[in-house]
Homo-oligomer: A and B are copies of this chain.
Amino acid sequence: MAGPVIFERIALIGLGLIAGSMGLRIQQDGLAREVVGTSRSAPTREAAEALGLCHRITATAAEAVRDADLVVLCVPIGAMEAVAREIAPHLKPGAVVSDVGSVKRAVIEAVQPHLPEGTHFVPAHPLAGTEHSGPHAGFPELFENRWCLLTPVTTDADAIDRVTRLWQALGSNVEAMDPDHHDRVLAVTSHAPHLIAYTMVGVADDLRRVTDSEVIKYSAAGFRDFTRIAASDPVMWRDVFLNNREATLEILGRFTEELFALQRAIRTGDGEMLHDYFTRTRAIRRGIIEAGQDTAAPDFGRGKPR
């Protein structure tokens, strides 16, 4: 039987929440003999060193990827191309390259052209995160019971298999998907909801200046969830929207249409329309609970877990 080691050496480029969590878990479970990490930011490298996120921290990406069997790009999407360009000449022949970006088509277009022949690109998107970011935010259980979606560019079965096994070992359920389809599904389930939460919290913040601190003080269920979503990393999310532009704008267009219909129902006092709509949306929640997608998020504090 094979041991736990899936890649001899793994390099993590960028040391935020995702890379930090990967590094801790890979070391904890011995999924690689060595994890090397790097970040452009010196304070981030120092923090990662102090936190023990990797076995070794290097000053440059070129050093980090040397002899690495797997290189994972954990930088904001807007930085992917520059990093790919920088590491390309230093990649080990046959190395597997992956990433953790929330948009897949744009990452493939930014990275793939720079990769030397003989390397294997297996883009990945772990559906995991918190509102915290940076090296201090990492913890080894982040990916537990989460999905990780792969959109392989390479056709090398061994490369795909090993990236799959790595994410499974990190605790995730892995599925492969077409990159454009991925971007459309995530526009609905993640990107549009984030923009909406950002918007609502922005409106409240404007009003807060008028109503003193009451908006914060009495932030009720609902809004509190929005503020958590809208506290996510600004750079990461800027890049998500700029790089999944069409799908996000399409969903936002549909959202606005529906919102106007509900606003009209409120204005005209159409209680039946509102009631029917709210009854329908209730059902989708049950679907999520039945699909086991909320098992890791009991409603502590918001209700009795049941």
Are B132 and A206 touching (Cβ within 8 A)?
Answer: no
The 10 A-B pairs with the shortest beta carbon distances in the complex, nearest first, are A130-B303, A297-B301, A234-B278, A231-B285, A296-B301, A225-B225, A230-B281, A190-B220, A193-B222, A201-B281
A181 to B184, alpha carbons, bound, how many Å? 41
Are B185 and A215 touching (Cβ within 8 A)?
Answer: yes
Q: Does A153 contact B (CB under 8 A)?
A: no
A208-243 contacts to B (CB < 8 Å): 208, 211, 213-232, 234-235, 237-239, 241-242
Binding stretch for chain B, among A38-46, A60-68, A81-89, A266-274: A266-274
Q: Does A197 contact B (CB under 8 A)?
A: yes
Identify A222's interface contact among B204, B229, B258, B262, CB under 8 A: B229
Oligomeric state, in number of copies? Answer: 2
Main secondary structure, interface of A, reads helix
Q: Does A51 contact B (CB under 8 A)?
A: no
Chain B minimum-CB-distance residue to A257: B203
Binding stretch for chain B, among A1-9, A26-34, A248-256: A248-256
Are A227 and B285 touching (Cβ within 8 A)?
Answer: yes
Interface residues of A (CB under 8 A from B): 78, 127-132, 137, 139, 141-142, 147, 149, 184-186, 188-190, 192-208, 211, 213-232, 234-235, 237-239, 241-242, 245, 248-249, 251-252, 254-256, 258-259, 262-263, 266-267, 269, 271, 274-275, 277-288, 291, 293-304, 306
15 additional A-B residue pairs with CB within 8 Å, beyond A199-B262, A208-B284: A78-B271, A131-B302, A137-B303, A186-B218, A188-B204, A189-B220, A198-B278, A205-B280, A217-B293, A228-B285, A231-B281, A231-B282, A231-B285, A249-B266, A297-B301
> Shortest Cβ distance from A261 into chain B, in angstroms?
9
